[in-house]
Amino acid sequence: MYRITAPTCREIQVDLPTSKSITHRALILASLNSGTSEIVNPLFADDTRITLAALQNLGSILHERDAVIECSQPIGHLKKNKIFLGNSGSSARFLIPLAGLVNKPVTFYGESRLQQRPFAELFLALRQLGLHLESTNQTLPVKVFPKPIRGGQITFRHLPSSQIISALMMTAPWMQGDLKLRLPLRTPSLPYITMTCKLMQRLGFSVQFQGREIMITAGKPNYDWSLRIEKDLSAASYWVLLAMVNRMKVVLPGVDLPSLQGDARILEIAAEVGSRVMLYCDRIEIEGDISQGLKLDCRDIPDLVPALAVLALFAPGPSRLLHIKHLEYKESNRIAAVQQNIAVLGGKSSYDHGNLKIYPQKKYQGGIMRTYNDHRIAMSFAIAGTRIQDIRIDQPECVSKSYPEFWQHFSFYQPVI
């Protein structure tokens, strides 16, 4: 357990980790490519290590050297018939379709929380495409039997996660025919689908995304490519939050803009509610402030919601975070986790029909912040502790899921023995 302390400086510089979302996708696309693929500056964290190990078990040859991962052979020959996925929903959704492309059946399983998360829509889509899966409760564990995946057209009426679409998009080049996906009217986390589309196009895949329809041309890729992973803007949100709630300056070197990541939106939000955001060719500088409450549609930015909820505690008026129901199915039920911790601090919130309202208070109290083993809950409420005395974070090590160096960069804490 860590006790958070107040900042002892008015300006900090943080070298962000690289993007977890892009690293996941790059590893998958490299392992479906018959050419030589090079991933420069990948994120080495719990979730990406899970994806890396699983791809190696599916037959991909991936070599690590310094800050580079090189892939010299795609998946195909299974090494291990049971693959553990921890609590990584991204790994699970991206990898399950690939099991149809190897030479033997494979079973995927994970931690108890992962085995509570919804996979029914992904399983249904894969069965429509001709894949045979066995699962007792439409979740993990699931056994996948290798079989040619037909391709064709799938129309989605409901999506609990955009990762289902990204998973099918990345698998599509190995299908027997072209794949056409029609998205529902309300698609959660749509920028992550756009990220997958743009990344695939950048690496030479034939992908078209117009309106609500995505078309991917079948044909196994055989390219040589090198991809440098950009800085993680979901991770940036905690430092933007630190700047805003403490009215301090934060410098983030090496951030690429425009970005493939939808969470670049955090910089726009900061500017909209009173911070000064300065963009340079080699860095971003944030001089933090918050002069109004938030009213945000969060359908496209679910990973920012815990940080935005903490920010709302220090706003001059009530805040509304809208369309966040899909956060119930993340590493934790993030809505319940946020509300529980706000209540411990003496704050007030209400949740109804997918919308969270937070009422800032003049005074808060310290207490133990339960993380529910969720990295984004831990990092967000650590920032709250820089303004509220005697906040303690349980399970602080859970940040290794996406940001192993967080506590080293943060430094405003003391271990509680």
Query: Would you name the residues annotated as active-site residues?
Result: 303
CA dist 219 to 176, 178, 204, 215, Å?
A: 8, 8, 11, 13
Which contiguous run of DSSP H or E holds residue 46?
Answer: helix 46-57
Residue 243, burial from CB neighbour count under 10 angstroms (0-12, 13-18, 19+): buried
Written as six digits, the tokens of 307 are 């940080």
Q: How many CA atoms lie within 13 A of 208 on its CB side?
A: 9
Q: What is the sign, positive or negative, of the torsion defined by CA atoms of 32, 33, 36, 39?
A: negative
CA dist 325 to 95, 237, 307, 370, 371, Å?
A: 25, 21, 16, 20, 19
- Are 218 and 178 in contact, with CB atoms under 8 Å apart? yes
Cα gap 381→375, rounded to integer Å? 10
Written as six digits, the tokens of 318 are 């009530």
Buried b (16+ CB within 10 A) or exposed e, 38-71: bbebbbebbbbbbbbbbbbbbbbebeeeeeebbb
Helices (H), 206-363: 233-246, 265-272, 305-312, 334-344
Residues facing 73 on adjacent strands = 61
Contacts for 362 with CB less than 8 Å, ≥ 6 apart: none
Angle at the Cα of 100 (from 96 to 104), degrees rounded to 5?
110
